[in-house]
Amino acid sequence: MIDDRPILVFAYGNPSRGDDALGPTMYELLEEQQRQAGLLSDVALLTDFQLQIEHATDLQHRQRVVFIDASLTASPPYELDPVQPEQDISYTTHAMSPAAVLSVYQQIHRQPPPTTYMLSIRGYTFELGKPLCARARSHLQAAFEFLMKGQLLKFE
């Protein structure tokens, strides 16, 4: 039952909370590429509402990890940034930041985490029951094309 493919895409957010659905919608788009086109065979796909401590265990045996989330501050359409383990507070909710998850990984496995990137897709509204707004949909498409055409999800 262990999926140890070398690349992990972890897209997160609430599908029913406006542009917070950017992460899970990207998950669905990538899953469709796997299911229907047979692409992304080296990529394990995971989704959740938000990051939690146990997600550190999903990073094990990976060579590369890409977290995908909606962002209220990223430059549109998206930003790609490397993530380093950081002992930040992540204190505002029960959830954790990607940097904090890497830090947990490092502490419990006693080894450096895999190379990790954060793909932040610009969103605007996060109301319960609202769909993705038009601008967010456009940014999602741009980010999807970037992932499919680029090298990030290709295993060397």
Token couple for 15: 């599908």
DSSP 21: G
Stretch that binds other proteins, among 35-43, 120-128, 133-141, 148-156 (CB under 8 A): 120-128
The reply to whether 15 sits near other proteins by the rule CB under 8 A is yes
The reply to whether 37 sits near other proteins by the rule CB under 8 A is no
Measured in degrees and rounded to the nearest 5, phi and psi for residue 136 equal -65, -40
Stretch that binds other proteins, among 34-42, 52-60, 76-84, 141-149 (CB under 8 A): 52-60
Shortest distance in whole angstroms from residue 42 CB to other proteins? 21
- Please give the Cα distance from 106 to 88 (Å, whole number): 14
The reply to whether 29 sits near other proteins by the rule CB under 8 A is no
Instruction: Tell me the CA distances in angstroms from 99 to 49, 102, 150, one per residue in order.
Output: 17, 5, 23
**Residues interacting with other proteins, by CB under 8 A?**
1, 13-17, 20, 46-50, 52-54, 56-57, 69-73, 87-97, 100, 103-104, 107-108, 123, 126, 128-129
